[in-house]
Structure 1
Amino acid sequence: MMWKAVGLSLLAFSFTVEVLSWVRRRNKAKKILNEVIFFPSEMGCVEHLLGPSKLYPCFCALPHGVETSLSRLLRHLLSATSSLDLCVFAFSSIDLCRAVLALHKKGVIIRVLSDKDYIAITGSQIGYLRKAGICVRSDVGSVYMHHKFAVVDESLLITGSLNWTLTAVQGNMENLIVTMEPELVRPFIQEFNRLWEINDPARTLFNSTSA
């Protein structure tokens, strides 16, 4: 009887350890991403993220193999596998443009909404996005479309004070919050879809002709 009791105790202990291990793995898998990124970004080469660095190593003078605010932002953007909704006031960063174009080339569905007064300013990358076949809309309202956010795969939100410009990335005190909290992501998805619909060029044309 004693050996039977010992055996049952060992079995129960083993089962308990297995259950605790499963719970830890489950909690780890459910961990939600929350991250804060501050700018200006440190200087560093990002070609390993944007280009075929294994075939064509970069020989630029910037530090290589360093993690910067810009590289962290790029990694989050380039994690997109199905969709990217981008709502930005100004977009002149070449590196961020290359990231969006790379996603488009991989088949990611991309929608871009920007301010009508800043789409055509000197250095704007919006024209390159349109030329590549990416759908871009500008706001039709009388106030600035001053949002700065992106939604990746309808599950990851990137938002903050950062305009997608070289000046903001390298020269300004800026911030970004990156989160997968559903309660925070969902309202931005709804707001983007609302703005996307009301700034549909076909709708604007219909309203102007029927007036």
Structure 2
Amino acid sequence: MRGGWAPAWRTLLAVGVGVAAEALAGWLLRRRREGSALREALFFPSRATCVEALLAEEGGGPSPGPCDCPLPHQESPLSRLLAHLLAARRSLDLCVFAFSNPQLRRALLLLHRRRVHIRVVTDADYMALRGSQIGILRKAGIQVRHDQETGYMHNKFVIIDKKVLITGSLNWTTQAIQNNRENVIIIDDKKIVDVFLAEFEKIWEDFDPTNYTFFTN
């Protein structure tokens, strides 16, 4: 009997997690629409958990069915971060120093397929390292710009729909997410968001490829 019950319980648990993930994303979206103040802090390292329910395709792709992976099916700082990102409906502007985490890359590609307008600013040195996800984003058609300065492009912030800011010490790497002591805050204070948005636009223009001088004599 035990052998027969175990698969059933795993199936029920996975379905339950999928429903919970959808409910979380829906709650975040409703909260933003209703104008409720958003204030949240996330602290890392994050325990490795299954996030497949959040990253499942919508319509025509793989269904968010039962997941038999051995990872715990529970909420974590990473799942909370993904839920906020995947609540984007119109735009996502990202400044990130290092980007090698595959789950966060999958989230951006999923948003891109949902026709969310994505712009990425990153550091030229780190985007060329092995494991960087930047090349995959570019091949998918996501706009990417990088610095050509002697210093690092060391910012780490995201602006969602020009209304929500995610910022903190976290680089988008598996090392940072699973091993480092890091912090992230999520807020929708218009004054603060507007300041970061203005800075993003400035960096975006500064890193316009027409201004690159790599190949000049």
TM bracket, shorter-chain basis: 0.7 to 0.9
Structure 2 runs not aligned, ≥5 long: 1-33
Bigger drift between 51-60 and 69-78 goes to: 51-60
Q: Which residue of 2 aligns with 1:35?
A: 40
**Which of 105, 108, 119 is equivalent to 1:111?**
119
Q: Which residue of 2 aligns with 1:185?
A: 193
**Which of 60, 64, 82 is equivalent to 2:69?**
60
Does 2:54 align with 1:49? Answer: yes
Q: Which residue of 1 aligns with 2:6?
A: none
**Within-5 A mapping of 1:47-196:** 47-52=52-57, 54-64=63-73, 66-196=74-204
For 1:143, give the aligned amino acid.
G
Counterpart CA distance in 1 for 2:153 and 2:139 is 22
How far is 1:54 from its partner?
Answer: 4.4
How far is 1:208 from its partner?
Answer: 7.5
Structure 1 runs (4+) deviating above 6 angstroms are: none
Residue deviations 1:14-33, cap 9 Å, x none?
xxxxxxxxxxxxxxx44210
How far is 1:60 from its partner?
Answer: 0.4
How far is 1:57 from its partner?
Answer: 2.2
For 1:61, give the aligned amino acid.
P
When Rg is computed on C-alpha atoms for both structures, the one with the higher figure is 1
For 2:110, give the aligned amino acid.
A
RMSD: 1.9
CA contact (8 A) 2:92 2:116 kept: yes
How far is 1:62 from its partner?
Answer: 0.5
Counterpart CA distance in 1 for 2:35 and 2:161 is 17
| Residue aligned with 2:212, SS | helix
Q: Which residue of 2 aligns with 1:21?
A: none
- Once the two structures are aligned, what percentage of the paired residues are identical? 53
How far is 1:120 from its partner?
Answer: 1.0
- The 1:100–1:55 alpha-carbon spacing in structure 2 relative to 1, beyond 3 Å, is closer
TM-score norm. by structure 2 comes to: 0.79
Q: Which residue of 1 aligns with 2:209?
A: 201
- The 1:114–1:56 alpha-carbon spacing in structure 2 relative to 1, beyond 3 Å, is same
| Residue aligned with 1:189, SS | helix
How many residues get paired? 181
CA contact (8 A) 2:157 2:165 kept: yes
Counterpart CA distance in 1 for 2:129 and 2:70 is 29
TM-score norm. by structure 1 comes to: 0.81
